[in-house]
Structures are given as structure tokens and as C-alpha cells.
Amino acid sequence: LAKTTQPISMDSYEGQEVNITCSHNNIATNDYITWYQQFPSQGPRFIIQGYKTKVTNEVASLFIPADRKSSTLSLPRVSLSDTAVYYCLPAKDTGRRALTFGSGTRLQVQP
């Protein structure tokens, strides 16, 4: 399984753009990169997924360079409600059919 490395924590202020980078040096060819968000006392929630280049949805953007050894989750203009833990997960299409979570990045947004 690909091992991921993320910053343990990040601080930001409301209205700023936040970029969280995840390193996954030994990602497999058929792995997708998926990001989940978890609020306190809740289960994780899917944010975005990509394979390469750039993916954007109504919540975030995901940038994956050509070598796919890292990915960056971009949250535009964060608000207090974006305070959460963000997990980067490689997800296989074959093999183990469940997600493997690391420790995630704890984002604290301040007013």
C-alpha cells in the first residue's frame, strides 16, 4: 500500500486559500488519490478524487503533477466551518477493497 505523508496541522484565517500537500512516493499505477474531510464527532466525508492533472468541484480543487508522487488539495476562501481534519488516501481499484487512512492534517481556521 502506498504510504502518505501530510503535515500534522495547519492554521489559516477566514477568506484565505489553503493548500494541503500530500506526499505519496510509491503510489501504484492504478491508484486514485482521494481526499476526505472529518469534523469532530462525525464520520469522514468525501471531498474530491483524481488520477492526474487537475480536478475541481464545488468544494475544492485537487492538483496532481505528472509524476503523481504528491497531490495538493486547495480550499478557496476558507471559513470557520472548514476547520476539520483532512485525509489524503490512495485508493486502489483492485486488491484490498477498503480505504487506508493516515493521521491526516488538522486544519484550524481562525476569524
Partner 1 sequence: NAGVTQTPKFQVLKTGQSMTLQCAQDMNHEYMSWYRQDPGMGLRLIHYSVGAGITDQGEVPNGYNVSRSTTEDFPLRLLSAAPSQTSVYFCASSWSSPNTEAFFGQGTRLTVV
Tell me, letter by letter, the H, E, C secondary structure of 14-43: CCCCEEEEEECCCCCCCEEEEEEEECCCCC
Here the cell at position 68 is 503523481
Q: Rounded to the nearest whole angstrom, what is the least distance from the CB of residue 68 to partner 1 in the complex?
A: 15
Determine how many CB atoms are found less than 10 A away from the CB of residue 60. Answer: 19
Q: Rounded to the nearest whole angstrom, what is the least distance from the CB of residue 15 to partner 1 in the complex?
A: 28
- Closest to partner 1 by CB, 13 or 31: 31
- Closest to partner 1 by CB, 13 or 46: 46
Q: Which residues bind partner 1 (CB under 8 A)?
A: 32, 34, 36, 41-46, 49, 87, 89, 91-94, 96-104
